[in-house]
Structure 1
């Protein structure tokens, strides 16, 4: 673990060096959360609840969605694409550490920095201009943290598996942007899925997207019953295993091709 911990430390130090980028990202994220919160206030228009969720719960959902969006900043696709374009990928594979373990360590180090640099200012701004995003209970807060960690792994596995397509497509820019938009729209990050048509919700229940954002956020605000929580957390774990298996399959295929072709 020592090499990966060193990589995490290096990534954290690098993130601290670019203060202007950090300030810009914080301001943009705070602006988006505040605007989205005012949008939901206008949508509710003084009504007590909509789709079984109160206005206060919806605002908490919006704030914590912004928090997860900050933390779920993953750069593995860019790293893979850059290594391929520069021709460094073959040499990287020969290093005495797992290449994708390096990418995960970098993203984890970035997450730890974002937790303090971006999330804390976002929570402060939200508390001043919207409300304090209090969880439904201490137990649900703990469960939120656990499911959010699993969500991060699901999101990372989706990103690294998608990023490995660079070995065949070379440039992933437009496809990566499309993937991000699809995940944000179908995961409940922007609009909770309980506002979607029932037929679409039934389809999305069989896809991994809602288990990235909506599940931990629904737990945080107390939207789910105990049975719904147990079932959806079980489905989330199943998707984690499925995506890990897909990642391992893609990894073996990619490494085999690189070793045969020489990069």
Structure 2
């Protein structure tokens, strides 16, 4: 190889791969209008600079689920979990007013949102920061059940109902606002990329999750190819000191363009 080579390091699911930068014409975000037309998980065409070019998403051929699947799941889950807490508060209201047994979760860890919340992990920092703000108001909402039911049992029904209304305007409103903020954020987080390849004027768009780095490597960073990567034969492996010495497969653009 030359004394120095520039590489695009990118992510497809859990796999980290590399391509020579000279084989990549452009890195296109699929969050904008350009590129979104006519693509699917299986393939199709993508619009780039007014030209329709073949779209080759790499997730299925490499056997990798996209890292953005968690955002699709959140988009389905969070509105339901938001409604759960409106229903929870309405059930508590009925119990306080009419002595109906309150059967919903008292513990913030036992409701459907709590079970999900304490198990969920994300690498997206904006999402993680927002989610970290849920714990306190969510716990306060669930803590109402024991306190207010206890007040009714002690003959202080009006006091309990007043406290419930104050909680609706206060801690519940705070919790619902957090749900609304995250629900609005989630669609903006899902921004897969297309690596636009150009082989003698023949363009292809590779669907990937993220570009992690564009880096120069020397011969000392390059290790001989060994084995296969599914249906691919790496040209070499690149030492990656940033991930504890893991080796990144260096592939040829022509191999990836032929997948799918």
Q: TM (normalized to structure 2)? A: 0.29
More helix by share: 1
Structure having the higher Rg: 2
The structure carrying a bigger strand percent of its residues is 2
TM-score normalised according to structure 1 size: 0.28
